[in-house]
């Protein structure tokens, strides 16, 4: 069975399982809300997928699972908020428009990425992998603590978003035999949510083009396959590691801006990684396309659970991606689009 056939079979089996699950839970769902929740889940999943790409990038380049990506998202959002002078107290040193504030935050994020790789991770080269992973956990706590000290614990609701959450477009659903589909006459698309989805997908597409078709991206691909062979053909592996962390910082900053547009700036933005982790493992730890598909699946799954008639089920929506993850990993331990590796012991 070739690679494409395996993917088609995997997608078909996944669809069949999803249909069976829908059939089993049909008495417990508010089907009037389901179409709207699917649209909302897809839009939310775009941002999750973008953040997941940053984690996959670092893993492919250095085989390190970065547990601090959520805190990098949070720091990026706070940097944009600070550069935009949105504190409202008249004491902000900057008062930049949103695009300029985002650009300044990206520059700082690149410097932070280089600093993390050079100062904290490069000295640990050759150390056990568990020690390096624990280092990323330590970095997460340091960034969380420093952000609390510098900006406080109070959420910042005055993020300079280009769209208001109340701006929506109603899309009418044409009636079918004089009865609207599932008794819903329209779908609502929030301008802010739609804009964040479009930006996330465009950014993810540009990133994948960069990784697959540019000289630097091909060097990063070579490094992800085999560090020793890449170094033997003249690729500076340490530079690739540093660039990976810098790009991950850029992706995190962009993800932070998109999330802050919807929810405002707060310390809880770091928890977005809790949704990105199952997205990565669902799609496959080494697959960029899998990260995107996994992010969309997580977004849709969470939104659909929130359409349940049962309060207890709606309140447990955040753990649903992990339940889905367990089911998928039982069937495909490498994820939906991950690579199955066979190693000699």
Say whether 66 sits in a helix, a strand or coil: coil
**Tens-digit pLDDT profile for residues 97-139:** 888 889 999 999 999 999 988 888 888 777 787 888 888 899 9
Give the pLDDT confidence score for residue 176 in this predicted structure. Answer: 44
Whether the CA torsion 329, 331, 332, 336 is positive or negative: it is: negative
Is 174 part of a structural domain of the chain? no
Task: Please tell me the distance from the alpha carbon of residue 133 to that of residue 115, in angstroms, as a whole number.
Answer: 17
Is 147 part of a structural domain of the chain? yes
User: What residues make up the domain containing 255?
Assistant: 3-162+191-331
Is 236 part of a structural domain of the chain? yes
CA-atom Rg of the chain in angstroms? 21
Is 92 part of a structural domain of the chain? yes
* Secondary structure E strands in 111-185: 168-172
Query: 223 and 235 in contact (C-beta within 8 Å)?
Result: yes
Average pLDDT in the chain: 80
Task: Please tell me the distance from the alpha carbon of residue 282 to that of residue 331, in angstroms, as a whole number.
Answer: 11
Per-residue pLDDT band for 209 (boundaries 50, 70, 90) equals: confident
Is 182 part of a structural domain of the chain? no
Report the candidate in 188, 189, 191 with the shortest Cα–Cα distance to residue 163: 191
Produce one character per residue of 238-259: b if its CB has 16 or more CB atoms within 10 Å, e if not: bebbbbbbbbbbbbbbbbbbbb
Is 284 part of a structural domain of the chain? yes
Is 167 part of a structural domain of the chain? no
Per-residue pLDDT band for 228 (boundaries 50, 70, 90) equals: confident
Tokens at 256, concatenated? 């932070």
Q: Which of 49-58, 171-180, 191-200 bottoms out in mean pLDDT, i.e. has the lowest?
A: 171-180
Per-residue pLDDT band for 182 (boundaries 50, 70, 90) equals: very low
The set of residues, in sequence order, having a beta carbon less than 8 Å from that of 119 and lying 6+ positions away, is: none
Give the pLDDT confidence score for residue 187 in this predicted structure. Answer: 67
Domain count, the chain: 1
Q: Is 138 left (phi over 0), alpha (psi -120 to 50) or beta?
A: alpha
CA 31 to centroid of chain Cα atoms: 28
What is the chain's length? 345
Task: Please tell me the distance from the alpha carbon of residue 156 to that of residue 266, in angstroms, as a whole number.
Answer: 6
Is 75 part of a structural domain of the chain? yes
């Amino acid at each position: 069975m070739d690679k494409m056939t395996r993917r088609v079979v995997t997608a078909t089996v996944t669809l069949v399982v999803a249909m069976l699950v829908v059939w089993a839970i049909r008495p417990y769902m508010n089907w009037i809300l389901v179409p709207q929740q699917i649209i909302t889940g897809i839009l939310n999943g775009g941002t999750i997928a973008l953040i997941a790409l940053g984690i996959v990038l670092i893993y492919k380049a250095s085989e390190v699972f970065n547990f601090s990506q959520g805190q990098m998202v949070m720091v990026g959002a706070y940097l944009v908020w600070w550069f935009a002078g949105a504190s409202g107290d008249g004491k902000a040193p900057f008062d930049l428009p949103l695009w300029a504030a985002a650009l300044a935050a990206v520059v700082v994020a690149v410097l932070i990425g280089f600093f993390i790789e050079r100062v904290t991770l490069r000295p640990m080269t050759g150390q056990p992998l568990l020690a390096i992973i624990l280092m990323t956990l330590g970095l997460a706590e340091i960034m969380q603590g420093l952000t609390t000290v510098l900006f406080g614990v109070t959420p910042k609701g005055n993020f300079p978003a280009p769209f208001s959450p109340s701006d929506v477009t109603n899309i009418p659903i044409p009636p079918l035999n004089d009865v609207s589909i599932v008794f819903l006459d329209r779908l609502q698309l929030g301008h802010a949510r739609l804009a964040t989805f479009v930006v996330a997908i465009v950014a993810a597409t540009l990133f994948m083009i960069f990784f697959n078709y540019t000289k630097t991206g091909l060097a990063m691909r070579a490094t992800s396959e085999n560090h020793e062979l890449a170094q033997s053909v003249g690729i500076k592996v340490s530079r690739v590691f540093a660039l990976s962390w810098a790009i991950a910082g850029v992706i995190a900053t962009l993800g932070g801006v998109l999330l802050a547009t919807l929810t405002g700036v707060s310390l809880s933005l770091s928890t977005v990684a809790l949704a990105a982790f199952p997205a990565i493992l669902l799609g496959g730890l080494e697959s960029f396309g899998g990260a995107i598909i996994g992010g969309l699946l997580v977004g849709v799954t969470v939104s659909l659970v929130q359409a349940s008639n049962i309060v207890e089920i709606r309140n447990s929506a955040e753990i649903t991606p992990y339940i889905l993850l367990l089911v998928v990993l039982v069937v495909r331990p490498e994820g939906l689009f991950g690579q199955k590796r066979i190693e000699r012991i």
